[in-house]
Structure 1
């Protein structure tokens, strides 16, 4: 239903935050950016061949055979505990020592961030984010009627010095401080950048000084195929200022809709209390068996090789096709490259022409709480083949060159 089709019959009954966003696109609206016969470089979908269907089928059969009705009942069977243990073991690989009381399984990453938002945010509260940042999280914060302030990124990730300056100014003015600072520190969505160790340490010092929660969204952290690991914020945190999010959407499959939160025991307890409804314990049982059978790590190793090849293909195509004046990031992992077009080109205005040429993408303005990103766009190398990628980037180049000639 379009805005023009919508009646106003129920508007006065909607919650205030709904009324304030009636004319704004909802969560997931970006998935409508498609065009017939165009190569879609828009979406951060895993490539279909990456899904471990055989291993999941084996795990499903084992759960039903071994646990039967217990796995299908409220609370699930013992394999749910196996998943908790598996998650904690993977977190320990990255230096995060947590207990089951500091872990909460969720129905994916969006459920996780929504639980954090429900627990901490009131209407009118302040939230700091990266600019650009994941548009889904911006949409979710909009549901809570909060004030969102964005801070720029460079090759080392979030500009933490700018965050520090803003905090100092707010303290001097006795203005409200942020309750949350949301960051995607590894292979950031949409830019692909990684937050440096030095900036992570400083951000933690600021959290302790100004008493805000850092929400560490590490959806892509397992997918490093270049460079050296950077210690997670959670592993550097001795006081409990970090709530860490993870998901299996990128390393197993989006359809399993399973993620997790790791944080201070008191925070995890409150998020668990306020989150309505239960999680999918049957899926968690299947994933627990999947971990027990040793499937997880070998599959991730295969993914790293495949995504590195896709990343390389994307960078080669950009270098081969885009005109002078264009620039792009070179991520060491994850799914995305952030492209900045030559001066005077608006990626949103360019999109219809690019679709006609044979490619779609996400305009940069989608990733900002306010204005910004007009010259930029996000390309995903995770889903399509190298040949499709090259056709798509060539189409983008043709559209850009045509716009430059106007």
Structure 2
């Protein structure tokens, strides 16, 4: 049996089992190992499912139409709802509203959108610059597709633009090729909880333009902001050619496992092709639940969810300040994560 393991692809030997997934198998009242959503709209989802049941029960044709393989790019109804939401939330600089719904790609979680982006862009040996520290689910995906991860320093405001530029120059000199992708989590990043100022977003976008680098802008925590949202870097991408914008329902509606993204125009057809090879389509039923939730309920539910997360963050932050050894803490303005670095220590 052991000899049969020699048939495994090389990437399986480079990437160990996820420690986070291993810890998820354990049942515990207070889960502090990873970004597990813990505040769900439990009363709304049963109501939506009853509404859908009535809709399907009313006409068999409704069942025939929707209990079938769907469009690879996503259910049109959900794409229209999310296109309008992105427009209202993030501005016309990204999308003009429902009429541009075909720009929205639905994925099975935003992790799939990240995988798709790397799948269609990275050749073995290509260079990807990430923050240090960075979301492990991104780093391991880069390794899986054969890319080289090069990290750039961060502070309590996220990526430091001048160090990013320095990292790019050094990486291109060392590897003898240009950097292809810069990975950015703008809001309440995993694992530090930092949020980039709009000035830094502008600076990072300008650096990407100057060095002709594609930006993967991971906005998974865009909805989970305790204070006013800062405009996304995607609004700077006026001709939709440089920034891959990904977001998720998973933080405010975790059971749905639905991500959504806006790809640069030259990537959209290739992204849809890649998704087709992965799962053909995201399940229609969960997309329909998401469509109703984001059309009718999200605006009334989101303040409730955010207030509860902020209360938890304040409690955790104050407890850490009181009980942890002296060090540097992040005090996030959204999301799930607080970061502590011991005083005088360089290792995390």
Aligned residue in 2 for 1:46: 37
Aligned residue in 2 for 1:286: 289
- Per the TM alignment, residue 147 of structure 1 is displaced from its structure 2 partner at its CA by 0.7
Gaps of 5+ in 1: 1-6, 345-372, 377-406
Question: Aligned in 2, Cα 1:290/1:230: closer, same or farther, shift over 3 Å?
Answer: closer
- Among 63, 69, 78, the alignment partner of 1:74 is 69
Question: Aligned in 2, Cα 1:173/1:126: closer, same or farther, shift over 3 Å?
Answer: closer
Gaps of 5+ in 2: none
Question: Aligned in 2, Cα 1:36/1:197: closer, same or farther, shift over 3 Å?
Answer: closer
Cα deviations by residue, 1:174-213 (Å, 9 ceiling, x for unpaired): 8212211111110011111011211211221222222221
Structure with max Cα Rg:
1
Query: For 1:298 and 1:10, how far apart are their aligned partners in 2?
Result: 54
Aligned residue in 1 for 2:230: 230
Aligned with 2:339: secondary structure? Answer: strand
Aligned residue in 1 for 2:80: 85
Cα deviations by residue, 1:369-397 (Å, 9 ceiling, x for unpaired): xxxx74x4xxxxxxxxxxxxxxxxxxxxx
Where in structure 2 are the equivalents of 1:5-16 lying within 5 Å? 7-16=1-10
1:307 maps to 2:309: yes
Contact 1:59 1:287 in 2 (8 A): no
Query: For 2:110 and 2:49, how far apart are their aligned partners in 1?
Result: 23
Where in structure 2 are the equivalents of 1:169-180 lying within 5 Å? 169=170, 175-180=176-181
Contact 2:152 2:167 in 1 (8 A): no
Query: For 1:334 and 1:316, how far apart are their aligned partners in 2?
Result: 17
- Per the TM alignment, residue 321 of structure 1 is displaced from its structure 2 partner at its CA by 1.7
Contact 1:59 1:289 in 2 (8 A): no
Query: For 2:11 and 2:195, how far apart are their aligned partners in 1?
Result: 33
Q: TM-score normalized by structure 1?
A: 0.75
Aligned residue in 1 for 2:261: 261
Question: Aligned in 2, Cα 1:218/1:233: closer, same or farther, shift over 3 Å?
Answer: same
- Per the TM alignment, residue 223 of structure 1 is displaced from its structure 2 partner at its CA by 1.0
Q: TM-score normalized by structure 2?
A: 0.87
Aligned residue in 2 for 1:295: 297
Query: For 1:336 and 1:62, how far apart are their aligned partners in 2?
Result: 40
Aligned residue in 1 for 2:56: 64
Aligned residue in 2 for 1:29: 19
Question: Aligned in 2, Cα 1:164/1:296: closer, same or farther, shift over 3 Å?
Answer: same
- Per the TM alignment, residue 173 of structure 1 is displaced from its structure 2 partner at its CA by 7.0
Aligned with 1:136: secondary structure? Answer: helix
RMSD: 2.4
Query: For 1:197 and 1:136, how far apart are their aligned partners in 2?
Result: 25
Aligned residue in 1 for 2:90: 94
Where in structure 2 are the equivalents of 1:321-400 lying within 5 Å? 321-323=323-325, 325-343=326-344, 374=347, 376=348
Query: For 2:185 and 2:246, how far apart are their aligned partners in 1?
Result: 10
- Per the TM alignment, residue 31 of structure 1 is displaced from its structure 2 partner at its CA by 3.0
Cα deviations by residue, 1:113-157 (Å, 9 ceiling, x for unpaired): 110011001111111101101111112112112110011111221
Query: For 2:215 and 2:47, how far apart are their aligned partners in 1?
Result: 35
Contact 1:103 1:268 in 2 (8 A): no
Aligned with 2:123: secondary structure? Answer: coil
Cα deviations by residue, 1:87-128 (Å, 9 ceiling, x for unpaired): 111211211225233221001111111100110011111111
Aligned residue in 2 for 1:112: 113
Query: For 2:257 and 2:27, how far apart are their aligned partners in 1?
Result: 28
Aligned with 2:222: secondary structure? Answer: coil
